Amino acid sequence: MSPDNIFEGANEDEESSSESNPSERKLGYGAAVVETMAQIMREDESVFLAGEDVGAHGGVFGYFRGLQPEFGEDRVVDTPIAEQAIIGLGIGAAVQGLRPVVDLMFMDFICVAMDQIANQAAKLKYMFGGGATLPLTITTAGGAGLSAAAQHSQSLEAMLCHIPGLKVVMPSDAYEVKGLLTSCIREDNPTVFIINKRKLADTCHVPEELFEIPLGEGHVIREGSDVTVVAIGRMVDEAKKAAEKLSGEGIDCELINPRTVQPLDIDLIVESVSKTGHAVIVHEAVRFGGIGAEIASQIQEQAFDYLDAPIGRVAAPFSPIPFSPALEKHYVPDAERIVTSIKNLF
């Protein structure tokens, strides 16, 4: 999907996993990024954007398009190809009282900037005894599905969630993009906002005005009685398809979208599992060491007596992501694999 068509070809059949109303306006996932950025930059002059190609080209996927013509080169800054420097710029600006949004084109590139992210951004408030505030938002594009191959398709949220001091956000639709991005930029601590590049053209209802979705609060998308399905990011769509299929076979799924994976709304998940007695966790990242393992562990610790079967996990195999579209499609979890995992619990 090229930058020229990310706001086209939207799946009009997709319903918001949050609050959908067909009579109200719909907005694309990628379009919600630029709308939110524009509105919050008009509202708060301390907010600026910096990253590779975010100015003239609007970013590699175009979801910052149009910001530089309105706000100028001082507030929408094209940077050199230097990820450590980009994050360092953001850290310094945030400590001095600005609210920077710094973009790393692909999630894979956090590895290049990990010293700045893990040892500086995440630690400064602690190192200064709470005396420093760091309102830094790091945006990045994660996930597979565009044949971008092994170095541009990874989902590395578990790596980020392991670092105390960071908040990690994974919106599943355009409604959540706007509400969560607004919360991230207004947050006084460093956040990582993970955009799923396969979702960019999908539409749902999004209010025109700015609004916040609280960080750390999950959402029950679908109530059910037989099994709790915890789905993260783009996997929410696949879990909804699986739940619909299983409803016709007599299995009633309760679907939970954490929205924020650090901090995690484990209380919401445990409450659901205590009701259903079964749990399946779905994420796009590699299964081994993924965020699903942590969620499963916490469910076991807090709701073991309610479980009627082992906790299921649906995730990618322990392999680099293939370039081949056919292999990549087989690599990424889908509704069919979720259905199979759920049926194995009964």
The residues annotated as belonging to the active site are 152
CA atoms within 13 A on the CB side of 236: 27
> How would you class 53 by CB atoms within 10 Å of its CB: exposed for 0-12, middle for 13-18, buried for 19 or more?
middle
Q: Which tokens hold the place of 319?
A: 């392999």
Query: Quick one: tokens of 268?
Result: 């919401």
Pick from 152, 143, 90: nearest CA to 121 = 90
Place of tokens 């929205």: 259
Burial of 112 (0-12, 13-18, 19+ CB in 10 A): middle
Nearest to 62 by CA among 106, 137, 138, 5: 5
Structure tokens given for 185:
């930029």
DSSP state of 181: H
The three-class DSSP label of residue 57 is: coil
316: phi then psi, degrees, rounded to nearest 5:
-80, 155
Tell me which residue of 92, 76, 95, 96 sits closest to 84, measured CA to CA.
92
The whole-angstrom separation of Cα 311 and Cα 341 is 10
Element (H, E) at 138: strand 137-142
